Amino acid sequence: MKSNMKTSNPPAETSASAPAEIRPSNFLRDIIVEDLKTRKFGDAVIQTRFPPEPNGYLHIGHAKAICLDFGLADEFGGRTNLRFDDTNPEKEETEYVDSIMEDVKWLGFEWDGLYYASDYFDQLYEWAIKLIKAGKAYVDDLSADEIREYRGTLTEPGKNSPYRDRSVEENLDLFQRMRAGEFPDGSRVLRAKIDMSSPNMNMRDPVMYRILHAEHHRTGPKWCIYPMYDYAHGQSDSIERVTHSMCTLEFADHQPLYRWYIEQLGIFPSQQIEFDRLNLTYTLLSKRKLLQLVRDGHVRGWDDPRMPTLCGIRRRGYTPEAIRTFVTQAGVSRTNGITDFAMLEHFVREDLNRRAPRVMAVLRPLKLVIDNYPEGQSEECDAVNNPEDPAAGGRKVPFSRVLYIEQDDFREEPPKGYFRLSPGREVRLRYGYFVKCTSVEKNAKGEVVEVHCTYDPATRGGNAPDGRKVKATIHWVSAAHAIDAEVRLYDKLFTKPYPNQVEEGQEFTANLNPNSLEVVTQAKLEPSLASAAAGARYQFERLGYFCADPDSAPGKPVFNRTVALKDTWAKIEKKAG
Ligand code: ATP
Ligand code: MG
């Protein structure tokens, strides 16, 4: 499969079913191979890091970065650090730190070192002093607005600040007093002295430190000046002897600055390499917007199963294996693109098909009464747990006179091509018997509320000794043995493939799908599901994959639909209609 594959369709069956270990080659791996060959970093092992900012929950885009950072280092016997980029004291919370660690582990990765950019505040401060002493940094008294004005534009060069040529002594004195808390927020900054006419705006004397009288979640009140991301990131990489610092394309313009700091300081030459962000149709992957969905109550929380957060898709029932395979197969490239949501679902289905035990559940029950089956009698049918996995064994499913079937599996007047139950028609009950519909009962509104059948005792197990065939097999649950359950059916969170595209004056929330959640409260499950543990995944035969939700209570399970099975009938109906 091509490494930069972007697709609007799930990839062809052959490549899609390749095991996760078969990794398509990509340019990041090529760079590492080359660097090892030329001994670019001498004897140093391949060292990567995953550097989340703890200001939100991880999403599936982060999963791509995690798989690259950890996966590539792993492949070459290297190491990966988890480093929290906590340079901004105002937005960061311990809740996010905890969730990020949990999510990385859940994805199946273990970090070597666990660090915080704030661990390096002392070192970064010393290096700032070093740059001041070398005449490479100065304290600027311009306001933020003035700095912006002086910076110029893409077509016009910037102008030097009137404070740019302060003496080293004055800069040292002012910077130390900034640190000591003598000045209010925003009154001064420390800037790198580079080039105000550089065609790269990031090189026009970027700010290194700002004054912020704010407590930090780790360093407490120790600091009232904080380093900017660009000043902290490369140096943190260097301290950890990161050889390959992989980040997304929006940082490409920052790379010259990344290198400049490292060169001026003469420290370990970590190398930044950019790759494309993961974008998915019908999905937003921006922490700010996801936070807005949570804060404004559009979803039930960060772990709402409709969210693209790792905790959301975990609750929905996606497996870490499926996500890793998806991310690998979606590939990595040097240009941004968008990947079809259907491709993600494809890999989720494929993985669950292999591992999820099959069970029977009826979401919209219709009573089916077998008139010639003795009242009060019941028996156990042998059911296969997973046809894909003989080791999964079998189980017994109770059968009796009154069953529930899916409303959809009965039509009083079957349309052309409909082969399921209808008056006079015979179908197979999965693992049970052939039944033939003899009559129906209706309510006052004329709706069918009960279907009456006769069964053929000779067809036990699902085959007729006389060789007669039926055209459909339907699932069922014995009414006397059924467990009541709530089932939450999810649809896409947004109605548009590009949720950010809105009419003027509208927000992305205008594209929210009002029907993204449907709660079915009267579902009937086979009794083996009574004790399903939260997180347990199943295939409800013919309906899709489902995962027990933490909201489940003893005897009252709640299930999330992870993903539907491919619905061929819907396609036929659509074509016909
Ligand atoms: P967001 O835009 O969602 O707020 P971010 O880039 O600010 O994300 P960080 O916590 O800074 O989030 O990201 C940690 C790492 O994950 C960075 O290296 C970043 O490049 C990477 N990353 C973030 N989003 C994606 C994505 N959609 N695809 C691939 N990598 C991503
Ligand atoms: Mg960020």
pLDDT digits over 226-236, tens only? 999 999 999 99
CA distance 395 to 384: 7
Q: Rounded mean pLDDT of 261-275?
A: 98
CA distance 452 to 440: 6
- The pLDDT, as a whole number, for residue 9 is 39
**Closest Cα to residue 164, out of 120, 204, 202?**
204
Residues 6 or more apart whose CB falls under 8 angstroms from that of 574 comprise none
**Closest Cα to residue 141, out of 97, 100, 191?**
191
- The pLDDT, as a whole number, for residue 433 is 98
Name the residue of 87, 248, 254 whose CB sits within 8 Å of the most ligand 1 atoms, as the mutation to test its pocket.
248
Q: Give 85 Cα–ligand 2 centroid separation in angstroms.
A: 9
- The pLDDT, as a whole number, for residue 575 is 67
Q: Is 330 in the pocket of ligand 1 (CB under 6 A)?
A: no
- Is residue 457 classed exposed, middle or buried when 0-12, 13-18 and 19+ CB atoms within 10 A define those classes? exposed
Amino acid identity at 459: T
Q: Which atom, in ligand 1's list, is nearest to the CA of 55?
A: 10
Q: Rounded mean pLDDT of 149-176?
A: 97
Q: At residue 266, does pLDDT exceed 90?
A: yes
Q: Is 285 in the pocket of ligand 1 (CB under 6 A)?
A: yes
Q: At residue 17, does pLDDT exceed 70?
A: no
Averaged confidence pLDDT in the chain? 93
Q: At residue 506, does pLDDT exceed 80?
A: yes
Q: Is 64 in the pocket of ligand 1 (CB under 6 A)?
A: yes
- The pLDDT, as a whole number, for residue 574 is 64
Q: Which of 64, 79, 191, 287 is catalytic?
A: 287
Q: At residue 12, does pLDDT exceed 70?
A: no
Amino acid identity at 316: R
With a pLDDT cut of 70, the percent of the chain lying above it is 94
Q: At residue 103, does pLDDT exceed 80?
A: yes
Token match 């760079």: residue?
31
Ligand found nearest the CA of 117:
1
The residue ranking higher by pLDDT, 160 or 6, is: 160
The residue ranking higher by pLDDT, 94 or 127, is: 127
Q: Is 513 in the pocket of ligand 1 (CB under 6 A)?
A: no
- Rounded CA Rg of the chain: 31
Q: Rounded mean pLDDT of 301-314?
A: 98
Q: Rounded mean pLDDT of 482-507?
A: 96
| pLDDT tens-digit map of 36-87 | 999 999 999 999 999 999 999 999 999 999 999 999 999 999 999 999 999 9
**Closest Cα to residue 476, out of 419, 408, 537, 414?**
408
Token match 């996801």: residue?
290
**Closest Cα to residue 440, out of 471, 467, 414?**
414
Q: Which of 136, 277, 364, 496 is catalytic?
A: 277
- The pLDDT, as a whole number, for residue 555 is 83
CB under 5 Å of ion ligand 2: residues: 53
Q: At residue 1, does pLDDT exceed 70?
A: no
Token match 């002093």: residue?
129
Q: Rounded mean pLDDT of 495-504?
A: 95
Q: At residue 530, does pLDDT exceed 80?
A: yes
Q: Give 53 Cα–ligand 2 centroid separation in angstroms.
A: 6
**Closest Cα to residue 271, out of 284, 283, 282, 259?**
259
Q: Is 54 in the pocket of ligand 1 (CB under 6 A)?
A: no
Q: Rounded mean pLDDT of 413-422?
A: 96
With a pLDDT cut of 90, the percent of the chain lying above it is 91
Q: Is 331 in the pocket of ligand 1 (CB under 6 A)?
A: no
Q: At residue 14, does pLDDT exceed 60?
A: no
Name the residue of 57, 62, 251 whose CB sits within 8 Å of the most ligand 1 atoms, as the mutation to test its pocket.
62
Q: At residue 26, does pLDDT exceed 50?
A: yes
Could you say which DSSP state residue 380 is in?
Answer: E
CA distance 273 to 334: 10
Q: Where are the beta strands (DSSP E) in 385-460?
A: 394-400, 402-406, 426-429, 434-442, 448-456
Q: At residue 306, does pLDDT exceed 70?
A: yes
Q: Which atom, in ligand 1's list, is nearest to the CA of 290?
A: 3
Q: Rounded mean pLDDT of 370-392?
A: 96
Q: Give 283 Cα–ligand 1 centroid separation in angstroms.
A: 15
Q: Rounded mean pLDDT of 478-492?
A: 97
Q: How many helices (H) and strands (E) are present in the chain, helices listed first?
A: 14, 25
- The pLDDT, as a whole number, for residue 405 is 98
CA nearest ligand 1 atom 15, residue: 52
- The pair of structure tokens assigned to 477 is 């649950």
Rounded to the nearest angstrom, the gap between the alpha carbon of residue 335 and the centroid of all alpha carbons in its chain is 21
Residues 6 or more apart whose CB falls under 8 angstroms from that of 105 comprise none
- The pLDDT, as a whole number, for residue 573 is 56
Q: Which atom, in ligand 1's list, is nearest to the CA of 65?
A: 30
Q: Which of 53, 388, 450, 486 is catalytic?
A: 53
- The pLDDT, as a whole number, for residue 22 is 56
Q: Is 247 in the pocket of ligand 1 (CB under 6 A)?
A: yes
CA distance 158 to 135: 20
Residue 252 backbone phi and psi in degrees, to 5: -55, -40
- The pair of structure tokens assigned to 483 is 């467990």
**Closest Cα to residue 223, out of 260, 175, 258, 292?**
175
CA nearest ligand 1 atom 22, residue: 62
CA distance 296 to 292: 6
Give me the residues paired with residue 79 across strands: 47
- The pLDDT, as a whole number, for residue 577 is 55
Known catalytic residue at 277: yes
- The pLDDT, as a whole number, for residue 531 is 85
CA nearest ligand 1 atom 27, residue: 61
The residue count for the chain: 577
- The pLDDT, as a whole number, for residue 576 is 65
| pLDDT tens-digit map of 442-459 | 999 999 999 999 999 999
Q: Rounded mean pLDDT of 256-284?
A: 98
Residues 6 or more apart whose CB falls under 8 angstroms from that of 43 comprise none
Q: Which atom, in ligand 1's list, is nearest to the CA of 277?
A: 28
- The pLDDT, as a whole number, for residue 537 is 98
- The pair of structure tokens assigned to 367 is 């009573």
**Closest Cα to residue 566, out of 15, 10, 6, 12?**
10
- Count CB atoms within 10 A of the CB of residue 361: 28
Token match 């070459």: residue?
76
Q: Rounded mean pLDDT of 475-498?
A: 97
- Write the CA distances from 149 to 134, 140, 153, 196, integer angstroms: 27, 14, 9, 12
- The pLDDT, as a whole number, for residue 51 is 98
Residues 6 or more apart whose CB falls under 8 angstroms from that of 34 comprise 40
Q: Give 332 Cα–ligand 2 centroid separation in angstroms.
A: 19
